[in-house]
Amino acid sequence: MLAFAIPSAAMAAADIAVHRDPGCGCCEKWANQVRQQFARRVVIIDDLQRVAFQRAKGVPGRLSSCHTAIVDGMVFEGHVPIADMKRVLAQRPRGVAGLAVAGMPMGSPGMEVRGQAPQPYNVIAFGPGGEKVFARHGR
């Protein structure tokens, strides 16, 4: 496990910062998938103040999960699929600050368990423009 206490402002713009619950192993699994798909350094920050961080970044409470990542100024809460991250980063829709997957649905990135059937889940876009379904998975 990597754990650095690096202020976000001190990191290079290309770095991906993942603020996570220090007791949650699925966060590391998700971060490993991000590492494989983005040609960037991923910094894992064990963040005991993660809930306050989520609020400061505008994550709606009902969309809270176990980790929050910042990529190019956009917020990604929970087990958001890499393809959805790439799509929103390319599109930069007006009024969208980030994407979230509430909770920890089985089968979402980082939550794959052999022999467990994936659960359907939605990826929600949130920001000043409100909330809307960005993608549906497992249906």
Residue 114 has which token pair? 């052999």
* pLDDT attached to residue 6: 37
pLDDT tens sequence across 113-126: 888 888 999 999 99
pLDDT in the model for residue 139: 74
The structure's pTM equals 0.86
Better pLDDT: 20 or 131? 131
Element holding 82 (H helix, E strand): helix 82-91
Q: How many other C-beta atoms can be found within 10 angstroms of the C-beta atom of residue 103?
A: 16
pLDDT in tens, 11-40: 345 789 999 888 788 888 898 889 888 878
Q: Is the dihedral of CA 47, 49, 50, 53 positive or negative?
A: negative
pLDDT, tens digit, 9 for 90 and up, residues 89-103: 999 999 999 999 998
The pLDDT, as a whole number, for residue 8 is: 39
